[in-house]
Amino acid sequence: MMSRTFRILAAFTCLFQPSLAQGNECVDDDTQIALMGAQQGRNDMTACIDVMEGCNIQNHLGDSLREICCKTCSDYDPNKPAVATQLPSPGETVQVYLLAGQSECTGQAGVGELTADPQRYPELQGEISGVWFAGYASPAAVDRFFIAPMKAGRDRTLFGPEISFGERMHAVTGRPTMVMKYCSGGTNTHSHWNPFNRRNMWDTSADDGTAQWMATNGGLDFATKKTQFKNMVYTIRRTQEALLNAGILFNWAGIVWVQGQADLKGGDPVWKLFGEGTARVWDGFRREVGRDVPIIDTGSNTHNQLQSGKEYATQLVKGCKAKNVEFALASNDDTASDCVVSASTPCFDSPNLHLNAGPLLFYGYDPLFPAGERKCEDRSTCKEFEWYRKYPTNIHSGYEGMILKGRMLANAFVSEFTDYTLPSSYLHSDPAALYPWKPCATGTLPSEGNYCWIDYRDESMMIKPSSELCSYSQNIVIDDSNGPYGDQNNGITDDSGKGDGSTNNGNNDNIFDQDFIEDDDFDDDFDDDLDDDFYYGIGGMEDTSAGNGRGRGLLVVLGTVMFFLLQPFTL
């Protein structure tokens, strides 16, 4: 809960911010959003993409957000027409991958930059043959679901890992590929994606297993972050029903999870709560698709606690078959520092962070990376590579960084879970293969030249002994000759044999070990969603008086400050 003094400061800070709309140009002020989030201790609020649910608030608070985040909100316009569905042709079995997570999953990579670079990325231009997208036209809503051939920019000016992941999986396997995407910025595993959070539960005894039942009776809410798991269940059902009704055979082939930053402040220790929460979410996804599909995971963002939690999750998840993939761009030695890495703060000059120049020299430096800090022989002719959306204030992936990430995830999935062979050219350009991020050797810390992560896992704190946890097993082969709805015995081959391919309805506690759930009365303070405090902090009414046409007058300042002072601030 914010103090009254902070509310006043927040009001004045935002009201005197200059407009970022110059003529017809529209530029997000991600820095302002990150500042407001930091002032409230919100490491899940790093850029406009994390607060886009507020774009459609119909009052002066929404007006202010639409000005500060004009580009993001233009993508989130509910008045945009929905996208028409174009299904694959019946025939060969479609491989469906579930893609979920937070803002890096949603994506801030620019479609304009990609389409302007056809020489380097010809295979990602226009509609991608053999690849489909299933999900929502922004903003997500029940009536905005669609399936169509994969194409960057079909409904947004920004994209995530789905473009290059889908293209790479199809290029390697030759199979029709579909990426079903539902992601939301700033969402955590502890509450937002948790199947056992009360907001994500529904009457399973009455549930008939259809998307329509969920839409009518399930309490879906796409305007909040607090029902992410339930919204995902609906999305899964919409996808399945669309394909089944058209007579299209398909397999749920895998899960791609891109998440982490929003869980950084939860748990003591973080790795334990985060790892158990992540495994719980994965178990819930697998329950809903009816198969123990393989999982590829990323998103620790140099944080050792998060990386430890992710590795713990791969040990704990039912059915095993989960793999985390990162690469060593930087390592954090966790010594005292005032700089905490986030999507708005790279901390590359902080003494606790050790930047690996290898990937920068190999792929290129971000165009906005300071010339004086580049380590190539001739700084004026360094290769360039758009790693970030806007370095250093928004380090969500830029278009080339996102393409690289999607390909890395696909390469890892193919290598770990299939019997397909990756072309050597794919491996020779894969950051996780070239610059692997491994746990630090016992007694060592990350340092210059020693790019590793600190493993905080403690077996005495784990909910199961190591003998009952997953052990690493590479190359689990997918038998995808027929879809699970064409052959109910088809599944993933591993030491336990084939999956049963069955489908199950609802969210039933019995699918999890009871000792896995520590407490279903979750802390609402941790589940601090896009609450009034944050929006009041960025609020302010627009003055329509003369001048530049967008100035703000004293009466507006005073009126808005009074509005701040009089608001009830409750979570």
Which DSSP symbol is given to 342? B
CB-based contact 567:534 (threshold 8 Å): no
pLDDT tier at 371, thresholds 50, 70, 90: confident
Helices (H), 344-467: 357-363, 399-417, 424-427, 431-434
CB-based contact 464:275 (threshold 8 Å): no
DSSP, collapsed to helix, strand or coil, labels residue 100 as strand
Cα 52 to Cα 156: distance, rounded to the nearest angstrom: 13
Helices (H), 117-181: 162-173
pLDDT tens-place string over residues 525-534: 444 444 433 3
pLDDT tens-place string over residues 484-519: 444 333 233 333 333 333 333 332 333 344 344 444
342 versus 44: the higher-pLDDT residue is 342
- Among 2, 20, 22, residue whose Cα is nearest residue 11: 2
Mean pLDDT of 215-227: 95
* Residues β-bridged to residue 330: 355
In this structure, what are the phi and psi dihedrals at residue 288, rounded to the nearest 5 degrees? -75, -35
Q: Is the pLDDT of residue 44 over 90?
A: no
Cα 188 to Cα 339: distance, rounded to the nearest angstrom: 21
pLDDT tier at 114, thresholds 50, 70, 90: very high
CB-based contact 255:100 (threshold 8 Å): yes
Secondary structure (DSSP) of 196-258: TSGGG---TTT--S-HHHHHHHS---TTSSTTHHHHHHHHHHHHHHHHHHTT--EEEEEEEEE
CB-based contact 267:226 (threshold 8 Å): no
Cα 389 to the center of its chain, rounded Å: 15
Q: Is the pLDDT of residue 14 over 50?
A: no
Residue 304: half-sphere exposure toward Cβ, Cα within 13 Å: 20
Q: Is the pTM of this model over 0.95?
A: no
Q: Is the pLDDT of residue 121 over 70?
A: yes
188 versus 60: the higher-pLDDT residue is 188
Cα 136 to Cα 407: distance, rounded to the nearest angstrom: 23
Neighbours of 198 (CB within 10 A): 11
- Among 382, 384, 412, residue whose Cα is nearest residue 398: 384
CB-based contact 392:416 (threshold 8 Å): no
pLDDT tier at 127, thresholds 50, 70, 90: very high
- What are the structural domains of the chain? 4-79+530-566 (no CATH), 94-507 (3.40.50.1110)
The secondary element (H helix, E strand) that includes residue 180 is: strand 177-183
Cα angle for residues 475, 478, 479 (degrees, 5° grid): 140
Helices (H), 255-303: 270-289
CB-based contact 55:76 (threshold 8 Å): yes
Cα angle for residues 39, 42, 46 (degrees, 5° grid): 95
Helices (H), 121-177: 162-173
For the chain, give the mean pLDDT: 81
